[in-house]
Chain A
Amino acid sequence: MSDNVVKLHYDIDAEDFTTAGEASSGVKKTLTRLGVNPEVIKRVSIAMYEAEINAVIHANGGVADVEITPERVTVVISDRGPGIPNVDKAMTPGWSTASNTVRELGFGAGMGLPNMKRYTDEMYVESEVGVGTKVTLIVNIVS
């Protein structure tokens, strides 16, 4: 409650693909409870869900830290996965290294990162090969 800031933390487990998305679902629930504009909620939910799925399918899981203020929602998803060798290339719509197994699960269109970009006001991807990836997603509540 301090200064109207809500902070949430989630572990993103990669053991079980069926539970992927629970963090994003939790954030959606919280934003709904806080009475945030539905359009903002949808943008945060989709962008975070894409990042969460990426952490599961490309990086063996990670963590999500979310900060909600009256001005904006900030989502940070970090993992200790393989990293992205060329972020610009990875941002290209349709570019994907997803395996056939991942495709059979319904992912691997190469649209996740472009979707995050489209649905957020600010997006930062920091990645180092062999170290991990950190994706920061910011959606403004009041512009």
Chain B
Amino acid sequence: MLKVSEIVKILDAEVLTGHENMDLEIYSGCGADLMSDVMAFVKESVILCTGLVNPQVVRTAEMMDIKVLCFVRGKIPGEAVIELAKEKGITVIATQQPLFICCGLLYSNGIKGRGVWD
């Protein structure tokens, strides 16, 4: 388990929205660039790490009750995407790390849950 505040530190990430949710506890994670894969394989609430920065990432998180999004590889979404996330109560952070490293760092620091269907 990691708190969002710890995730931010580990990934040296920037918080784009959701500063009030830093104490939220995250038990499992998912790294993906295809949204239907997220909807197919993810079951529990997770942190979703992705290199996509369009509004459909926020929509996918909304439908799946995913509370935290992490944009990787230094990608920063447009203002509209951040606004949509804010409106939906979804915390958004952004890191320079590539997806693989981002997932590896989160895993080795304590997010071990699969959060997927078996």
Contact = CB atoms under 8 A, between A and B. Distances in A.
A21 B59 CA distance: 6
A18 B54 contact: yes
A9 interface: no
Contact of A106 (B40, B54, B63): B54
Contacts, number: 75
B35 A115 contact: no
Main secondary structure of the interface of A (DSSP, over half): helix
Interface residues of B, number: 20
A115 B62 contact: no
Contact of B63 (A18, A49, A103, A118): A49
A45 B50 CA distance: 21
Contacts of B80: 18
Interface residues on A, range: 20 to 34
A142 interface: no
B23 interface: no
Nearest to B53: A106
Interface of B: 33-37, 39-40, 50, 52, 54-57, 59-60, 62-65, 80
7 contacts: A17-B54, A46-B39, A53-B56, A106-B54, A110-B36, A115-B40, A118-B40
Interface of A: 17-21, 24-25, 28, 38, 42, 45-46, 49-50, 53, 93, 103, 105-112, 114-115, 118
